[in-house]
């Protein structure tokens, strides 16, 4: 396996395939870089260098007790980019990975970045507050914490249903996709997964979005049951200076897998324009 050791001595797994302009993929919670299989194959075949890592504590990366926070996640990316000498990067982040992309730019700048794509991403803030009334109540995130802590194996299996919209009328359940989600989730460490819930729910990424000075494509489903559109991409796209918002009618949270052909084509068109 290809591993990179961070400055705080944590081993991170990553994939680095092909040649050409680099596209870097940041996965969602509680998944791993394997969630991007369709995209890495497609864009690699289009002549791009495709790179994805397993976030610390997730997938095949080292399971960590400390450092499971967005500052450290962003620093991990900065160190990996420097290690691989990546420049002119297309950064693509799903869900929590969208927060990771935004926070990387907010914390480390955009000198290495050409464009970004945030898909079903958590910014600016998921949590419902007095100033964010369309957000998700804390009780929901407490429930995610309880499910992760008490029986994450069953919780991850159950989560695939709203995640991919398999509870919607007329949608065909993809059991292989459900099993892949479960397997990726169970590869990671429970402490890392537990800590990460705070990072995707309570961290405010507004200042990071304001710092982005490169073109950003927001892709979001209007039936996202995990990160509702009204409190995420619609707001985020109004904050980023050069933003394009593309809404998938009936799209789920896992639209990069469910609608892979359309997603890949839309991202490719954005990259090439």
DSSP assignments along 181-200, one per residue: HHHHHHHS-HHHHHHHHHHH
For β-strands 216-221 and 22-26, DSSP reports them as unpaired
Residue 180 in contact with residue 174, Cβ under 8 Å? no
Amino acid 123: pLDDT: 98
Please name the residues in contact with 38: beta carbons below 8 A apart, sequence gap of 6 or more.
Answer: 256, 257, 260, 264
Catalytic residue among 32, 33, 95, 201: 95
Amino acid 96: pLDDT: 98
Residue 216 in contact with residue 90, Cβ under 8 Å? no
Catalytic residue among 224, 232, 252, 259: 224
Strand positions, DSSP E, 206-258: 216-221, 243-248
Amino acid 1: pLDDT: 80
Largest interatomic CA distance in the chain: 49
Helix or strand or coil: residue 168? Answer: coil
Amino acid 34: pLDDT: 98
Amino acid 46: pLDDT: 98
Which residue shows structure tokens 């405010």? Answer: 204
Give the span between the Cα atoms of 36 and 172, in whole angstroms: 21
Joined tokens for residue 162: 């709203």
Amino acid 90: pLDDT: 98
> Is 75 a catalytic site residue?
no
DSSP code of 94?
Answer: E
> Is 8 a catalytic site residue?
no
Instruction: Report CA-CA distances (Å) from 89 to 2, 24, 75.
Output: 20, 7, 16
Give the span between the Cα atoms of 238 and 210, in whole angstroms: 10
> Is 224 a catalytic site residue?
yes
Catalytic residue among 58, 94, 103, 253: 253
Amino acid 163: pLDDT: 98
Confirm or reject CATH 3.30.499.10 for domain 3-272, answering yes or no. Answer: no
Amino acid 97: pLDDT: 98
The mean pLDDT values, 10 residues at a time, for the chain of 273 residues are 96 98 98 98 98 98 98 98 98 98 98 98 98 97 98 98 97 97 98 98 98 98 98 98 98 97 98 96
């Amino acid at each position: 396996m290809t591993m990179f050791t961070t400055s705080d001595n944590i081993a991170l797994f990553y994939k680095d395939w092909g040649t050409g302009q680099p596209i870097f993929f940041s996965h969602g919670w509680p998944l791993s870089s394997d969630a991007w299989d369709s995209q890495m194959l497609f864009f690699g075949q289009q002549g791009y260098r495709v790179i994805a890592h397993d976030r610390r504590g997730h997938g095949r990366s080292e399971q960590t007790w400390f450092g499971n926070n967005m500052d450290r996640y962003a620093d991990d990316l900065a160190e990996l980019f420097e290690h691989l000498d990546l420049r002119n990067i297309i950064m693509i982040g799903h869900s929590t990975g969208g927060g990771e992309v935004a926070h990387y730019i907010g914390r480390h700048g955009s000198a290495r970045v050409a464009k970004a794509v945030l898909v079903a991403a958590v910014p600016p803030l998921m949590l419902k507050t007095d100033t964010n009334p369309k957000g998700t109540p804390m009780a929901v995130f407490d429930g995610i914490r309880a499910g992760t802590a008490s029986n994450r194996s069953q919780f991850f299996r159950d989560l695939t249903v709203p995640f991919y919209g398999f509870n919607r009328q007329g949608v065909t359940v993809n059991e292989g996709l459900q099993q892949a989600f479960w397997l990726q989730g169970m590869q990671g460490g429970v402490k890392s997964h537990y800590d990460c819930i705070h990072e995707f729910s309570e961290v405010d990424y507004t200042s990071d979005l304001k710092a982005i000075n490169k073109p950003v494509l927001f892709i979001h489903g209007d039936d996202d049951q995990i990160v509702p559109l009204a409190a995420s991409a619609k707001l985020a796209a109004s904050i980023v200076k050069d933003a394009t918002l593309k809404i998938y009618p009936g799209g789920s949270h896992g639209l990069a897998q469910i609608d892979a052909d359309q997603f890949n084509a839309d991202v490719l068109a954005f990259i090439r324009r």
